[in-house]
Amino acid sequence: MKNTRRKKTELAAKKQYALDSTLWTGDNVIVANAIQFGVQNLQMNAKRVVYLGLSKIELARPGSAGMTANGWEVNLHASDFGNIFNIHESNVYELMELGVRQLLKKIVEFEYIDTKTNQVIGVAIPWVSAATYIKNTGTIKLAFNNHLTPYITRMAAKSGGYTIQKIKQSGGIRSVRGWRLFDILTTQRDTGILKITVPDLMHALEVKKKDDEGTVDYYEFKRKILIPAINDITENARISIDFEEMKIGRKIVSLDFKFRDLIIQSTDTNRNEMTVISSEKYSSEEDYAEKLAESRADTARIANMLNEQRQLAARRNNADDSENHPPENVSNDDSFDDYDDIPFDNPDPLFEYRTQRSLA
């Protein structure tokens, strides 16, 4: 019993260290791992509303969040919504209200293993029970479903553990699939390694089945969903991601991800390296130098990858201008759309302005 408790304490410390080692500050979002691997059924603005609301819960500041007999209630302000998600003030309340209206119709579905009975428990719960719009104040009061309480606080340790995100980090991601992949990766933030089967990954990313056999072509999934999601996370949440495809015969059956938070900002690189890296404990100057070199290599590699992606996008745009038909072997169906009203190629249709985001 003591060894089990000690291991749990060490694991929690590793997760917290991994989070504290980044440049990101601000409020925590706590979500059960089971929800992260489940089906969230959220469009982009609905997900923003949910995670902004969850970020209010842990500290429960007066006037911001509180526990009631019906569950957690939080106050969402248009100014917070705009600042965290980089939305211009002319659109912010409209998008927040849209997210709430979408959210009122959504149910989260997930499974976990009961530690007492060792049985798999399936759960389906509406995200929220009510929303109140306070006119002319830019404020919406949101009531999370009371049955969600064990899964959106540290109580989730009893149902398979929980993930901690910084809302300012995940809030920079621009697509639903990018954010969902980020959710899944951060369940393993303490190790930086995630091994997942292709069907489980597609399930978590909520990819629609394409044919009568219920299958999706992996290479189309990789091109249209996985790679753009990785690029989104790398550019907007500052995480370096690599993955290896594991095969049985000729079929790719699972993916091994390796990832890490980039511990430096792209601007004023040397100053940020010194500020962040020197705050960690190193056994020798050689260890410090090695860590610094890794950080510089990461920054250069990510910059090259993003530049290649931009060049590829430019070539595709030029090809689209010269042809009126899609490239060969690319499907025109909507199996890879984010959701019914948000196509994958434009995951945030009402987003028209982008402001300079801050990590502080």
pLDDT digits (tens, 9 = 90+) for 263-315: 544 443 443 333 333 333 344 445 545 554 555 565 566 556 666 666 666 66
Note the helical H segments in the chain: 2-20, 33-37, 44-54, 78-85, 89-103, 167-170, 176-185, 198-204, 218-221, 227-236, 269-277, 285-322
**Could you state, in order of their start, the residue ranges of all structural domains in the chain?**
24-172, 176-350
What is the DSSP secondary-structure string of 193-247? EEEEEHHHHHHHTTPPP-STT----HHHHIIIIIHHHHHHHHHHT-EEEEEEEEE
Task: Classify domain 176-350 at the CATH class level.
Answer: mainly alpha
Residue 56: what residue type?
Answer: K
Write down the pLDDT at residue 216. Answer: 85
Q: Residue 330: what pLDDT? A: 38
For position 15, what pLDDT does the model report?
A: 57
pTM of the model: 0.70
Q: Residues 64-73: pLDDT tens digits? A: 999 998 899 9
Mean pLDDT (10-residue bins), the chain, 360 residues: 65 59 73 94 96 93 89 94 92 93 95 88 95 88 95 88 91 96 93 94 87 77 96 94 95 96 51 36 47 55 62 61 44 40 34 32
The predicted pLDDT at position 265 comes to: 40
> SS3 for 37?
helix
The burial class, CB within 10 Å (0-12 / 13-18 / 19+), for 288 is: middle
Q: What are phi and psi of 303, to 5 degrees?
A: -60, -40
Cα–Cα distance for residue pair 148/40, rounded to 1 Å: 13
What's the topology of domain 24-172?
A: Arc Repressor Mutant, subunit A (1.10.10)
Domains 24-172 and 176-350 share a fold: yes
- Per-residue burial over 302-321, b = 16 or more CB atoms within 10 Å of its CB, e = otherwise: beebeeebeeeeeeeeeeee
